[in-house]
A = this chain, B = another copy of it.
Amino acid sequence: MQSPTGVGFLLSQMGVFVSDGFAERVAALGLTPPQVGVLRLISQTPGLSQQALADRLGILPSRMVGLVDDLEARGLVERSRNPQDRRLYALHPTERGWETLASVSVIAVEFEREVCAPLSEREAGVLTDLLRRLADGHELPVGVHLGYRHLTEGDAG
């Protein structure tokens, strides 16, 4: 921990607070944050294979198996074989998957409101802008959470 009053410490502290809060809220839907991330990406580009998915999220293929297993077991995602290359799956959200994503979206909007509650609307806007410029400046991938990636390829920091 750096000086417990600096930007670094506050970012790290708030990051854990937000991550925990979000995890707690989507747990009400029976989901974990990594599952939500996978489900969302499948909805954005339906038909993707597991490894393509794993690649984009920085998750190991072996780990993706279990995540998709769970989503399939909950009836949120469908595995269909790609007839052109029967090694690949083509992943699609089910109707229930789309509904669940809508619920996640509602939760996210509400949670966003709670997180920003101590600030005025204008201040929240300023904060968003500053954070986005930080993320851009450090070349963080847009919309991909670092917490998903594996750390074996020297990509930490």
Name A residues whose Cβ lies closer than 8 Å to a Cβ of B.
1-25, 33, 36-37, 40, 105, 107-109, 111-112, 115-119, 123-124, 126-128, 130-138, 140, 142-147, 151, 156-157
A13-B130 in contact (CB<8A): no
Chain B neighbourhood of A131, CB < 8 A: 7, 10-11, 14, 127
- Assuming the contacts A17-B146, A20-B146, A124-B7, asked whether A108 and B12 have C-beta atoms less than 8 A apart, the reply is no
- Number of copies of chain A assembled together: 2
Question: What are 23 residue pairs bridging A and B, where the CB atoms are less than 8 Å apart in the complex?
Answer: A1-B36, A2-B112, A5-B143, A8-B22, A8-B108, A8-B111, A9-B143, A11-B11, A11-B15, A11-B18, A13-B15, A14-B15, A15-B15, A16-B147, A17-B146, A20-B146, A20-B156, A20-B157, A23-B156, A117-B137, A118-B133, A127-B131, A127-B134
* A19: min CB distance to chain B, Å: 5
User: Could you tell me if B13 and A145 are in contact, using CB atoms closer than 8 angstroms?
Assistant: yes
Contact A138 B118 (CB under 8 A): yes
Whether A2 touches B22, Cβ cut-off 8 Å, given contacts A7-B115, A111-B8, A118-B137, is: yes
Q: For A136, what are the chain B residues with a Cβ–Cβ distance below 8 Å?
A: 118
- Chain B residues lying within 8 Å of A126, measured Cβ to Cβ, are 126, 130
